[in-house]
Structure formats: C-alpha cells, structure tokens
C-alpha cells in the first residue's frame, strides 16, 4: 500500500479503493454477536470503524476474532447512516496480525473509563488508546497545527533552539541542572534569549518545543516539562501588536478546531470560547477590581495569585462578556531583566498575561532592544552583563523594537476542555512524583 493511499485512514479509518473494496487496519475494540453475523468495531489510528462479519467468512478465516486483536480486514464499503463516518465495511477477508497476551488494566471498551487520574497515568500507554483520551490529543494536535498555519501565514519563521543551555541564560530557582561533560549546564526553562536572537535574523519567529521547570510544588497547573508555544516579533509599534497577534491566533485556532475536530469536541462535550476583542486591564486596576468588586483582601503586590486569576476571569465574563482577559503593566522588579519598562508608567513593565477561564495561559511583553538600556537593567537586577556577552551582541549590533510571548500548550488544552488537572492534557506528564511511564 502506498503512503498516498494510506492517507485516507487518518480521516476515515479505512483505505477505500475505486473498485469499492476497502482495507481497515486497527484493533478489535468490540464484538457483538448477532447470530449469523457479528458487528465489529475496529479502533483505527484516529477513528472507530463499524464492520460486519458474516458467519461464512468467519469460518473461512479459521481463528475466532477476539477483543484486542490487531487486524487487517478486507471488505466492501456500504453506506450506513447509523455508523460513525456514515459507512460500514462488509468483511470478505480477515488477517489477525497479533493477539494480546494480557488484558488491559483499564476498561478500554467502556464508553467512559471512569478511573482515577493515578490509574489513568500509571497505565498511560494503554489508557491513551481510549477514544476519549485520544480525542484530547487530537484536539491538542490541532491547536499546534493552527499555531503553525497561522504564524507561517503571517511571515513568521519556525525555529528550533537548543534545550541544553549554559549558565548565563535566564536562571532562577526552578532550573534543572545538568552535568555537560564536566561543565555546569541546565535544561532550557524558555527559549527566550534565543528567540530574540532569531528576531535579528528573520524578523518574526516561532517555536513549539518542550521547556523544563523544576517546580517543587504539586499543583494542578504545573508540570515539570511542558510544551511552550512561543513567538517573537520585530518592528513592533507597541505591546498591543503582540496581544493582537495572540488574539488573532486564538480566533483562528477556535475556527480550526470547529472544522477539524467536531467529532472529538462533541465526544468530550467541550464548549469552545468565543474570541472577540479581548478586554485589557492594567495590573493596578486588576488588583483594585479584586478588592472593590469582590471585597477580597489583596494578595501579593508583585503578581496575581491563582484565586485572583479566577476572580478576574469571573469579572471579565460577567461585566465584559469575555472568557479571556489581558492583564498588562506588571510591576517591573518582578518581571525579567529583558522586559521593557513603560516610560509613561514608571515602575511598570510593558508585559502582560492572558487569563482564560480562571488560569494564566500566556506571559508576554515587549523586550529591551537598546544596548545601554539592557546593560543598565541587568545591573539593576544584580546580573553581570559579562555573563551575557553572547546575548548582548544582538543589542550591540542593532535590534528592532520587539517582543513576544509563551503560551502553555497543556494549559490551553486543559482550559478549552474544562479539565481541573493539567496532567489530563499531557501525554506522559512529568511532575514531582512522576517520571514513568
């Protein structure tokens, strides 16, 4: 079978030929004996295909089919409105490719598995085969596809920056240390400095890649390895260019999901958000809103705490008609050394977070492009500019006004699907206690 022919199963779960015959390759998900014939549901790479197996064919094929068998079935495609996909396959030939030697530890064939997250994760190689679990990652795939399509279509170049990094990158408490042939190194906690370097090359860049955070707490919103969707753009008119680009991506992505993942969204009962003009509120006003609208005492002054994020989203939904809200102008000392300050609002940075359904999903902002300003800011932060001499080359040799953001893929998926725990939106989550499977 050629790969071109082989494309069809990805949409329909079967390869159909012009003479009316079809091939279905997959796992026997369910068998229903109807007396004289059986209904088979075959779980293919991305679909469930209904097949009909007559007694006479069954007898010819020798071995009895069992749930869990991997099979290659040949047959004729017949329209059937009651079957998923609108067709069924009347089988003429059965080939059993392998037979399991153990029963799965999770109820794969139940409509809903109804198992705890721990059992789900302990049995991840198999639990992911369940149509529900699989649907989560088909949706996640579409979010990444939309990111690529949208940004590529808007003049961004896709880049791949190193994840093994030397001392002198961002630093901080939550880095994983590494022994690099006797030299200290660490796993990248963000592609930040490299994507800025690449703005000097391509003007607009993006990257979809893992980042590593040694989060030492156990929460439902943190993983120790997650996928960051990053972009960085040059020749900014201001921070609003970045926020507008993100808004346009989200609008594009929701439309893309509607078109590509209707079945998966329906299976999971997901309700997509409307992405209109996303309201914008300054950090100072956000803190004030929490006090004045909700009568809550302030959390810390440097950042929003998780409860404040929930409240601000509640406010945005009720009062501003949006499930998203941008919070801008965070206190400068709490933002990284490359963040540009707002000259009209001293002490506050041109930086923003995007909150969605009660959770931060993005941090972004405008970066410093002037060499003297960047060196000065490093000194204010107690950082030795000499440690950043590679990075500072870009400022010295000239950079346009630029900025960008990082959007957490698992958090976006989690919030779209309404999950309480980010682990549900990660294939093989890494957390404080889990490195396996």
For residue 209, count other CB atoms closer than 10 A to its CB: 16
Query: Residue length, the chain?
Result: 437
Could you give the CA distance from residue 382 to residue 380 in angstroms, rounded to a whole number?
A: 5
Q: Measured from the CB of residue 69, what is the shortest distance to ligand ATP in angstroms?
A: 38
The answer to the question of residue 188 lying near ligand ATP (CB under 6 A) is: no
User: Is residue 257 within 8 Å of 333, Cβ to Cβ?
Assistant: no
The answer to the question of residue 328 lying near Mg ion (CB under 5 A) is: no
Q: Measured from the CB of residue 360, what is the shortest distance to Mg ion in angstroms?
A: 6
> Per CB under 5 A, which of residues 344..363 are in contact with Mg ion?
363
**Tokens 């779960």 sit on residue:** 13
HSE-up of 90 (CA within 13 Å, CB side)? 9
Could you give the CA distance from residue 14 to residue 50 in angstroms, rounded to a whole number?
A: 10
66: three-class secondary structure by DSSP? coil
Write out the two tokens for 316: 């945005």
Residue nearer to ligand ATP on the CB measure, 140 or 228? 228
Phi, psi of 63 (to 5 degrees): -60, 145
Q: Measured from the CB of residue 329, what is the shortest distance to Mg ion in angstroms?
A: 14
Partner whose binding site includes residue 75, from ligand ATP, Mg ion, none (CB under 5 to 8 Å by kind) = none
* Closest CA relative to residue 422, chosen from 361, 363, 352: 361
- Counting residues that bind ligand ATP (by CB under 6 A) gives 16
The answer to the question of residue 410 lying near ligand ATP (CB under 6 A) is: yes
The stretch among 195-203, 281-289, 384-392, 403-411 that binds ligand ATP (CB under 6 A) is 403-411
Q: Measured from the CB of residue 255, what is the shortest distance to Mg ion in angstroms?
A: 27
With CB under 6 A as the contact rule, the residue among 9, 188, 408, 429 that binds ligand ATP is 408
Partner whose binding site includes residue 228, from Mg ion, ligand ATP, none (CB under 5 to 8 Å by kind) = ligand ATP
Residue nearer to ligand ATP on the CB measure, 38 or 362? 362
The stretch among 105-113, 158-166, 237-245, 402-410 that binds ligand ATP (CB under 6 A) is 402-410
Partner whose binding site includes residue 362, from Mg ion, ligand ATP, none (CB under 5 to 8 Å by kind) = ligand ATP
The answer to the question of residue 313 lying near ligand ATP (CB under 6 A) is: no
Residue nearer to Mg ion on the CB measure, 138 or 311? 311
Could you give the CA distance from residue 84 to residue 97 in angstroms, rounded to a whole number?
A: 24
User: Is residue 391 within 8 Å of 375, Cβ to Cβ?
Assistant: no
Rama region for 11: left / alpha / beta (φ>0; ψ in -120 to 50; rest): alpha
HSE-up of 94 (CA within 13 Å, CB side)? 26
Q: Measured from the CB of residue 247, what is the shortest distance to ligand ATP in angstroms?
A: 16
The answer to the question of residue 366 lying near ligand ATP (CB under 6 A) is: no
| Ranges of H-type helices in 261-352 | 262-268, 283-294, 306-320
> Per CB under 5 A, which of residues 363..382 are in contact with Mg ion?
363
> Per CB under 6 A, which of residues 199..228 are in contact with ligand ATP?
213, 215, 221-223, 226, 228
Instruction: Name every residue whose Cβ is closer than 8 Å to that of residue 153 and which is 6 or more positions away in sequence.
Output: none
Residue nearer to Mg ion on the CB measure, 190 or 363? 363
Rama region for 343: left / alpha / beta (φ>0; ψ in -120 to 50; rest): alpha
Partner whose binding site includes residue 408, from Mg ion, ligand ATP, none (CB under 5 to 8 Å by kind) = ligand ATP
DSSP, residue by residue, 135-203: HHHHHHHHHHHHHHHHHHTTT-EE----SEEETTSS--SS--EEEETTEEEEE-S-SHHHHHHHHHHHS
With CB under 6 A as the contact rule, the residue among 361, 394, 416, 417 that binds ligand ATP is 361
The answer to the question of residue 362 lying near ligand ATP (CB under 6 A) is: yes
Q: Measured from the CB of residue 215, what is the shortest distance to Mg ion in angstroms?
A: 13
Q: Which residues bind ligand ATP (CB under 6 A)?
A: 213, 215, 221-223, 226, 228, 360-363, 406, 408, 410-411, 422
Q: Which residues bind Mg ion (CB under 5 A)?
A: 363
């Amino acid at each position: 079978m050629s790969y071109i022919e082989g494309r069809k199963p990805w949409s329909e779960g079967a390869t159909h030929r012009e003479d009316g015959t079809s091939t279905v390759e997959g796992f026997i998900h369910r068998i229903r004996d109807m007396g004289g014939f059986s209904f088979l549901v075959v779980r293919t790479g991305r679909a469930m295909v209904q097949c009909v197996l007559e007694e006479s064919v069954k007898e010819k094929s020798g071995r009895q089919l069992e749930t869990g068998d991997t099979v290659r079935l040949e047959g004729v495609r017949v329209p059937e409105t009651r079957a998923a996909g609108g067709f069924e396959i009347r089988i003429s030939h059965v080939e059993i490719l392998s037979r399991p030697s153990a029963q799965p530890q999770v109820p794969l064939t139940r409509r809903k598995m109804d198992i705890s997250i721990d059992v789900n994760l302990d049995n991840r190689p198999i639990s992911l085969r369940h149509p529900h679990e699989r649907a989560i990652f088909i949706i996640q795939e579409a979010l990444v596809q939309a990111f690529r399509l949208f940004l590529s279509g808007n003049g961004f170049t896709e880049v791949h920056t190193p994840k093994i990094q030397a001392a002198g990158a961002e630093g901080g408490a939550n880095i994983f240390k590494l022994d690099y042939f006797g030299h200290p190194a660490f796993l990248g906690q963000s592609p930040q400095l490299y994507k800025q370097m690449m703005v000097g090359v391509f003007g607009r860049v993006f990257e979809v890649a893992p980042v590593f955070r040694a989060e030492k707490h156990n929460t439902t919103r943190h993983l120790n390895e997650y996928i960051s969707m990053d972009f960085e753009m040059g020749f900014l008119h201001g921070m609003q260019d970045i926020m507008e680009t993100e808004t346009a991506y989200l609008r594009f992505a929701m439309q893309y999901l509607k078109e590509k993942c209707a079945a998966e969204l329906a299976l999971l009962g997901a309700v997509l958000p409307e992405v209109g003009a996303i309201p914008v509120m300054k950090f100072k006003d956000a803190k004030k809103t929490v006090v004045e609208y909700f009568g809550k005492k302030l959390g810390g002054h440097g950042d929003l705490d998780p409860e404040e994020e929930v409240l601000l989203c509640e406010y945005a939904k009720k009062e501003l008609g949006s499930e998203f809200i941008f919070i801008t102008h965070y206190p400068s000392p709490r933002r990284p050394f490359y963040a540009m300050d707002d000259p009209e609002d001293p002490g506050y940075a041109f930086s923003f977070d995007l909150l969605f359904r009660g959770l931060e999903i993005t941090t972004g902002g405008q970066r410093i492009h002037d060499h003297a300003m960047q060196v000065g800011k490093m000194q204010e932060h107690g950082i030795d500019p000499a440690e950043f001499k590679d990075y500072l080359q870009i400022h010295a040799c000239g950079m346009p006004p630029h900025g960008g953001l990082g959007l957490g893929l698992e958090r976006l998926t989690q919030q779209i699907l309404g999950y309480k725990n980010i682990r549900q939106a990660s294939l093989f989550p890494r957390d404080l206690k889990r490195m396996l499977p």
